[in-house]
Amino acid sequence: MAAHPKKIIIDTDPGVDDAMAIYLALRSPEVEVIGLTTIYGNVYTTLATRNALHLLEVAGRTDIPVAEGSHVTITKGTKLRIADFVHGVDGLGNQNFPPPKGKPIEQSAAAFLVEQANLHPGKVTVVALGPLTNIALAIQLDPAFVKNIGQIVLLGGAFSVNGNVNPAAEANIFGDPDAADIVFTSGADVIAVGINVTHQVVLTDADRDKLVQSNGKFAQYLAKILDVYFSYHHEVYNTRGVYLHDPTAFLAAVDPSLMTYIEGVVRVQTTGITRGLTIFYNKQKRFAEETEWSDKPTVKVAVTVDAPTVVKLLMERLMES
């Protein structure tokens, strides 16, 4: 382990690429995973919690607490869009794993986030891999959260490219646009990694064959669950490989220099046919009128990525496990 590994909390909706990111995190000496918090997205929250506990049990890391997150959007919406067609109905490639033995802690995800940020001011990074409800709830629960939390690295948005739910919206932002707008305008130190970046990072069919053949414990586990995710990509994107959304966002938290960024104000469309659209204002033009972007805090938005290094780090770390 590095002398002072970065404390991270992964907010997650596992999810095949979430599983990859979590195992990559457990194999990354630069970080100490101090908790997982769960959210709906790829699966419903109850199943996300079960999968988070399961993944930690497989890894032999039941020392890491799991805090269950919200079952509804920040506006109490219950009509959730669940991407089980991407990950399988169980979220983990339809493997029918046995239920985990462990239980989540009593605290809610938002309460856990607030507590940890208070315990280690400026030192905790949240890697948010699903809709941003829990993070927005933490901001509402404790106004000091935005300054106590070190950094929020989120997978979300489609900046100047089409979305993956529809041409306007990326899945995590679409999942809770109101929560996303709260997080983007909160004043916290935010890095947004959108699909404009993660669609440049592909784990190829050949890479997958290497994972299958490796003896690494995590590589072996992932080899089992990757089928549905690969089939989905072959079918809808016509790619010979899969996008590494969550692992890429995680690595931005480990080593921000793997990407380049632009800084500006991000607002989220919360209604209508463009619900979930992320609009970045680069602050170059001073508009004549006040706009909904005026005087809002800025965030960093990833624009380029060293994709070969991201794939290499993922492969090496999972295969050595």
Ligand X SMILES: O=c1[nH]cnc2c1ncn2[C@@H]1O[C@H](CO)[C@@H](O)[C@H]1O
Would you name the residues annotated as active-site residues? Answer: 13, 245
Considering the complex, state which of residue 90 and residue 246 has its C-beta at the smaller distance from ligand X. 246
- Residue 253 Cβ, how far from ligand X at the closest point, in Å? 15
| Cis amide prior to 91 (ω within 30 degrees) | no
Residue 137, judged by CB atoms within 10 A of its CB (0-12, 13-18, 19+), counts as buried
* Binding positions for ligand X, rule: CB under 6 A: 15, 17, 42, 83, 86, 129, 164-165, 170-172, 195, 245-246
Of residues 180, 115, 119, the one with CA closest to residue 152 = 180
User: Closer to ligand X at the Cβ: 42 or 185?
Assistant: 42
Q: Which two tokens stand for residue 153?
A: 């690295």
Min dist CB 153 to ligand X, Å, is 14
Of residues 10 and 129, the one with the C-beta less far from ligand X: 129
- Of the two residues 129 and 211, which places its CB atom closer to ligand X in the complex? 129
Question: In whole angstroms, how close is the CB of 83 to ligand X at the nearest point?
Answer: 4
Min dist CB 23 to ligand X, Å, is 15
Q: What minimum distance in Å lies between the beta carbon of 158 and ligand X?
A: 8
- CA separation for the pair 184, 179 (Å, rounded): 9
Using the minimum distance from each CB to ligand X, give the nearer residue, 35 or 131.
Answer: 131
d(CA 149, CA 156): 19
Using the minimum distance from each CB to ligand X, give the nearer residue, 138 or 195.
Answer: 195
The Cα–Cα gap between 49 and 29 comes to 25
State in angstroms the smallest separation of the CB of 250 from ligand X.
11
What is the distance of C-alpha 47 from the center of its chain? 16
Check: CB of residue 270 under 8 Å from CB of residue 178.
Answer: yes
| Length of the chain in terms of residues written | 321
* Residue placing its CB nearer to ligand X in the complex, 36 or 117: 36
Closest separation between CB of residue 237 and ligand X, Å? Answer: 8
Which residue is nearest to ligand X, using beta carbons? 171
Compute the distance between CA of residue 83 and CA of residue 162 in angstroms, rounded to an integer: 18
